[in-house]
Amino acid sequence: MNNIFNYTLLILYLIAFIIGFSTIFYSVIYYIIERITWLKYYIVFLFLFGFLLLIRAIKLLSFLAIPLFLSNSIFNILYYFTLSVSMSLILYFIPAFLYRFLNLKWKVKENVLYLILSVIFFVLSILGIILNFNFYIVANIIFYLLILYLLILGFINYKNIKDKMMKLIVKILGLITISIYPIMVYQLITINKNSLDIGSIDITLVLFYIWWNLVMLGFLLWYFINIIKNKNMFVNESLNNNSNDLKNIENENNAIKKELKEEIINLTKREKQILSYLLSGKTNKEVALILDISLNTVNNHVANIYDKSGVKNRVELVNKFSK
């Protein structure tokens, strides 16, 4: 086989794995945040699809590095076995994800039905590898018929999706699947045991995986960018509110200071003197002794201070001027 084609395919596999891993990584974070039921099945589906490609990439790498290793029967048995396991699990997890995504009831009946189909696919695949390749073709016919059924199911229940962004994502993914489906059917018609090695089917699978994951990765990045934007808006709003609160407090304090200043200005020199002693904790008698005036005079000055300050007693006076 052409080495340029093989190395190009290997690069495509590498790109697919990078994009696929990124999508799985962000999907896991998305699931941790949102706890959406269908998402865990979707993550398993992506992982299995990626594993399927990994098996084929190992096959390609082995072909390029150690061609003789491919002729090893143990390697081939392991290769076809893991390939069959991966595809049979995908056969179960695609509907498991889609039913929940479309808000369709996933009852015991559906669960058992798709499990049986998955097992049938696996058994036929193994028989196709060991006994007669026609069994493998029948298994793939079951697989593609199920994909067609799920496409129709998705089209019928498209209206059940409430979120506009998710509707757009589903529409794009649906168009990608529909556009690639005829190619996959054609490859099924022309399939033979040798074509399972390395060829156009790899290109189809890799491109499908890349396109599919790019769309989902775009959605997930949009989701996380929105989270960051909303968080920044919340922080800015909180800072603005705090700033406004501080300004209000400052204005109130300034108003109080202004009011107190005006009240102090209205006091006579002697009243200001007496006020300072009162605020320091001196009694009227102590003030009289310090200033060498009568207690009656001090009491009159204190009464005037109360009246001008708008307070009724010593406690209110101290509280007011201590601010």
Q: Which CATH number covers residue 274?
A: 1.10.10.10
Q: Are residues 263 and 173 in the same domain?
A: no
Nearest to 85 by CA among 134, 132, 51, 36: 51
- The answer to whether residues 209 and 16 touch, using CB atoms and an 8 Å cutoff, is yes
- What is the structure's pLDDT at 71? 52
Q: Are residues 208 and 274 in the same domain?
A: no
In a domain, 300, yes or no: yes
Query: Across the chain, what does the average pLDDT equal?
Result: 77
Q: Are residues 156 and 215 in the same domain?
A: yes
In a domain, 35, yes or no: yes
Give the rounded percent of residues in the chain with a pLDDT score beyond 90: 1
- The answer to whether residues 233 and 194 touch, using CB atoms and an 8 Å cutoff, is no
In a domain, 230, yes or no: no
Q: Are residues 216 and 300 in the same domain?
A: no
Nearest to 58 by CA among 79, 44, 72: 79
Q: Are residues 181 and 271 in the same domain?
A: no
In a domain, 241, yes or no: no
In a domain, 229, yes or no: no
- Going from the C-alpha of 29 to that of each of 23, 156, 170, 176, 288, the distances in angstroms are 10, 30, 20, 25, 77
User: 13 pLDDT exceeds 80?
Assistant: yes
Q: Are residues 167 and 88 in the same domain?
A: yes
Query: pLDDT tens for residues 290-311?
Result: 877 888 788 887 888 777 777 7
In a domain, 246, yes or no: no
Q: Are residues 141 and 256 in the same domain?
A: no
Q: Quick one: average pLDDT of 82-93?
A: 82
CATH number reported for the structural domain that contains residue 190 in this entry: 1.20.1070
Q: Are residues 190 and 314 in the same domain?
A: no
Q: Quick one: average pLDDT of 66-84?
A: 65
Q: Quick one: average pLDDT of 148-163?
A: 82
Its domain, for residue 263, covers 252-322
Structure tokens at 162: 């409430």
pLDDT band at 270 (very low <50, low <70, confident <90, very high): confident
pLDDT band at 199 (very low <50, low <70, confident <90, very high): low
Q: Are residues 207 and 257 in the same domain?
A: no
What is the count of structural domains for the chain? 2
User: 75 pLDDT exceeds 70?
Assistant: no
Q: Are residues 218 and 268 in the same domain?
A: no
End-to-end alpha carbon distance in the chain: 90
In a domain, 234, yes or no: no
Q: Where among 223, 244, 267 does a domain terminate?
A: 223
- The answer to whether residues 154 and 174 touch, using CB atoms and an 8 Å cutoff, is yes
- The answer to whether residues 1 and 9 touch, using CB atoms and an 8 Å cutoff, is no
Q: Are residues 93 and 210 in the same domain?
A: yes
Q: Are residues 53 and 115 in the same domain?
A: yes
